[in-house]
Amino acid sequence: MHITRVGVIGAGAMGSGIAALCASAGIPVVLLDVPGQPDRDGLAKGAVAKALKARPAPFMDNGRAGLISTGNVEDHLDRLANCDWIVEAIIERAEPKQALFARLEAVVHPGAIIASNTSSIPMHILTQGRSEAFRRNFLGTHFFNPVRYLHLLELIPDVSTSPDTLARMRLFAERTLGKGVVIAKDAPGFIANRLGLYGVVRVLRLMEQFGLTIDEVDALTGTFSGRANSATFRTGDISGIDVLAHVAEGTGAVTGEDFALPAWVHQLIASGRLGEKTGAGFYRKDKKGIATLNWRTLEYAPRQDVAMEELAFLKKLPLAERLGQLTRAGGPRAEFLRQLLVDISAYTIEKTPELAHDISSVDRAMEWGYGWEMGPFRQMDAMGLDFLRTTLSSSGRPVPPLLSKAQEGFYRQLNSGLRQLTTAGEYAPIEPIPGLIDLPALHLNGKARDTNDGAALLDLGDGVLLLEFRAKMNTLGPPVFEMLGRAAERVRTEGLAGLVIGNSDPRTFSAGANLGLVAAQVQAGEWKVLERAIHAFQQGVMSLRTLPFPVVVAPFGMTLGGGCEMLLHADRVQAHAELYAGLVEVGVGLLPGGGGTKELLFRFTRELAVYDEADPFQGVKRAFQMIAMAKTSTSALEGRQMGLLREGDRISMNRDRLLSDAKARVLDLAPDYAPPVPGTIRALGREAIGNLHYAVWAMREAGYISDHDVRIGQHIAYVLSGGDGPPRDVTEQDILDLEREAFLALLGTRETQDRITHMLTTGKPLRN
């Protein structure tokens, strides 16, 4: 039975987040809360309205909010009768949840899955008093907040949960909702929260012991040690300090372990400083900027940058090397971090048999739920198990049995592949992530057909090759297009099915063209070289349309400039739902020069051509606004609305499945593939230029743009109008030539050169 309709009970941050994710995936949702006054449905309605304004946005497309119907649990519980999955996200106490499940049992249809989104209460407690039939269809579905953005979903089956219920829920979660699923044991706190809570408590206590500041600790426990950028205290403010205290108290009561928070944290809560939702917590943001709490005095002072000179030599190392070198670094900050890592490691090793079915589940839970770059067992392997054994023994602490059984690592690379240590002391296969094409493993297993400085060509099997970007930020330059040419030759000569363009970077499909190379050539005055390079870039992008086999681009995350131009020219796009794509070249004083200006003009003009009474200028205007305002999608759904994705392009909710979905598209297109036939459009010429120039002038008069922005806008207008002349039919090459000339003209200005230099040195745009 497929899950086609969802019920959510509890419209707080978590419940409304789950509802928004389901609606974003196209699933109708019934969202209920307790009755309000005077509108009995007001709490649920208000939650949806709040979600539409929230940042980060819970919806991938605000239009999908229409899929949510609201009500209250007193009047409308019967609306859940035709829901296939009902999840409660009410107050974190067992008694109200148990009472709700008793009411639900009389309402839901026999095959419906019932779930609790509790973050710590075991399932066997929540199902007390329920029938065996109810318990077979019951399990925990522990999402992480914000629901849309955090990949982890812990599924917690009760001892009575049927295998079919678990399998159906897992398939829906992975495929439809895009989650990375970890099966947790029915223990308090499950995997991620139990280990994460312990880590937070240890950070607080060690901070006091070493006399460090909140700024120092967040500098140490953020990306420096492979954690999320929000580190410890910023994360606490986001989740809510009161929530942290509640979970710590509840988990401590159930487990008997000491999760007590320091007294000053409870003083913060008593004073109403609960974090981001109250405007102040461990940090406070005001008109002067961000201030940090002094935990000794509970007063705020301007946030301080922490240089950490004694650890500077570690910053540029990959995380695995950094952790290995950290074991020998000096100073109190290094000692704080070492002791924290050892404490977390020992606790993780000790608790894993109770919480998880294997060590890879623990690593995935912390990577997907807490944003760790490497899970705790992978981190231990990087630090060295001998270091852990020696440190624990020298401090008089017992060496956990699992650590004693490990040899050189918790993971071992064997001829048969990567293996993980089991509680029995053996090395066993790791359950693969469903649908994942593991590019590092392909490299390791000799599947790279070709490589150069900026790209690689990998064999995905079944006659499909993958072009992988490998430069910093996956920027595009000559090595990428050289590899594209080699890929085309291999597909043709070997009779292969086609090509996928994608990579496994965690955040960036491509940041666009290699600006550093462009800046160096400008400084050297190599203008003829630059013109040839831009022409080659254009032709490389255009070749995606002319190759005699299908090319599917698989973008995700940041897909900017030249990366977006590749997306626009592919036969098909298989995009991840979290797609932040756009032509942003105006930020560095340029216009899209790799075919992007041309493509938007042709695409939007052709869309209008099917309507007899349509004004063709509207297509030009639409392209101009997108380019001049550097509009960027906030999701793949918005990218489709903007016109970056076409109706034939598809969206993968789960990033893990993106490349395998793209490969399937190639195989689907290959049997009868024929490249599209080039065409022409009617360029509007002088009249369109006049209209666009007026719009640019109005923005300058209003003070919205600078004189250089006016110049950029005029160049964009010239290209989109097909030049300053009468209306005429133009080919794609005609517009590409104008695009290239305008790009070079802007590149020759001091203002554009300053913008490029500023972007390269600061990573931020310059408004000049």
- In the structure, how many helices (H) and strands (E) does the chain have? 30, 26
Task: Quote the strand ranges of 295-416, DSSP E.
Answer: 299-302, 411-414
Element (H, E) at 193: helix 192-210
Separation between Cα atoms, residue 378 and residue 400, nearest integer Å:
17
* φ, ψ for residue 136, nearest 5 deg: -65, -30
- Rounded CA-CA distance 743/562 in Å is 13
> Do residues 759 and 597 make contact, with C-beta atoms less than 8 angstroms apart?
no
Tokens encoding 21: 């994710």
Paired tokens of 109: 């249809």
Rounded Cα gap, residues 618 and 605, in angstroms: 8
Q: What is the DSSP string of 379-414?
A: HHHHH-HHHHHHHHHHTTPPPPHHHHH-SS-SEEEE
Using a pLDDT cut of 70, give the percent of the chain over it: 100
Question: Measuring CA to CA, how many Å separate 42 from each of 97, 280, 367?
Answer: 22, 28, 37
pLDDT for 286? 84
Q: Which residues of the chain have pLDDT under 50?
A: none
Measured CA angle at 566 (ends 563, 568), to 5 deg: 115
Tokens of 260: 């007590």
Q: For residue 658, give every residue at least 6 positions away whose Cβ sits within 8 Å of its Cβ, in sequence order, or none.
A: 502, 554, 556, 574, 576, 652
**Range 709-728 burial, b when 16+ CB lie within 10 A, else e:** bebbbebbbbbbbbbeeeee
Instruction: Report pLDDT for 711.
Output: 97
The CA distance from 114 to 261, in Å, is: 34
Are 14 and 247 in contact, with CB atoms under 8 Å apart? no
58-97 burial, b at 16+ Cβ within 10 Å, e below that, comes to: bbbbbebbebbebbbbeebbebbeebbbbbbbbebebeeb
The per-residue pLDDT for 254 is 86
Q: Residue 414: what pLDDT?
A: 85
Name the residue type at position 178. G
Distance CA 341, CA 225 (A): 9
Report how far Cα 345 is from the mean position of its chain's Cα atoms. 27
Long-range contacts of 289-294 (CB under 8 A, 24+ apart): 292/213, 292/214, 292/215, 293/214, 293/268, 294/213, 294/214
Determine the pLDDT at residue 120.
Answer: 81
The predicted structure's pLDDT at residue 504: 96
Q: What is the pLDDT of residue 611?
A: 86
Q: How wide is the angle at C-alpha 697 spanned by C-alphas 695 and 701, nearest 5°?
A: 120
Q: Is residue 86 within 8 Å of 156, Cβ to Cβ?
A: no
* Mean of all residue pLDDT scores within the chain: 96
Q: What local confidence, expressed as pLDDT, does residue 407 receive?
A: 85
Tokens found for residue 387: 């270091």
- 32 φ, ψ (degrees, to nearest 5): -120, 150
> DSSP strand E in 623-679: where?
650-652
- d(Cα 659, Cα 666) in Å, to the nearest integer? 11
pLDDT in tens, 693-703: 999 999 999 99
Domains of the chain and CATH, by start? 6-183 (3.40.50.720), 192-429 (1.10.1040.50), 436-584+634-670 (3.90.226.10), 589-631+677-768 (no CATH)
Q: In what helix (H) or strand (E) does residue 500 lie, and over which residues does it extend?
A: strand 498-501
